[in-house]
Amino acid sequence: MAKLKLKTGDNVRVIAGDQKGKEGKITRVFAEKNRAIVEGVNLVSKHTKPSAQNPQGGIVKKEASLDVSNLALLEDGNVTKVGYRLEDGKKVRFSKKSDKAI
């Protein structure tokens, strides 16, 4: 399992697939599956049966996961690649475009 360069809370842009061009914040990351859920992107319709929590049931719009390879980190509105380096003995992520720590 490779280490992911994207974390929960990062702003990302979808760079491939049906959702290409959409932007949002990562709400959840599944590192073992190499997938992430992005807020407001890749919405799917889920049919739910009536239950105690949802007595009405019906069709619910829900975000589905996207492969991490189809996401790019946004920094000041531009996409950038992520690198790692040591600063003061700590490993930090940095933007390869602006060379600033993230």
Cα separation of 92 and 84, whole Å?
Answer: 6
pTM score, two decimals?
A: 0.86
Task: Report whether 76 contacts 60 (CB < 8 A).
Answer: no
Span 12-67, pLDDT tens digits: 999 999 999 999 999 999 999 999 999 999 999 999 999 998 899 999 999 999 99
Task: Report whether 41 contacts 19 (CB < 8 A).
Answer: yes
Residue 93: band (very low, low, confident or very high) from pLDDT cuts 50, 70, 90 = very high
- The strand order across the sheet containing 66-67 reads 66-67, 35-38, 23-30, 11-14, 71-75, 78-80
Task: Report whether 12 contacts 31 (CB < 8 A).
Answer: no
Q: Per-residue pLDDT averaged across 64-93, rounded?
A: 95
Q: Hey, what domains does the chain have and what are their CATH numbers?
A: 11-95 (2.30.30.30)
pLDDT of residue 1: 65
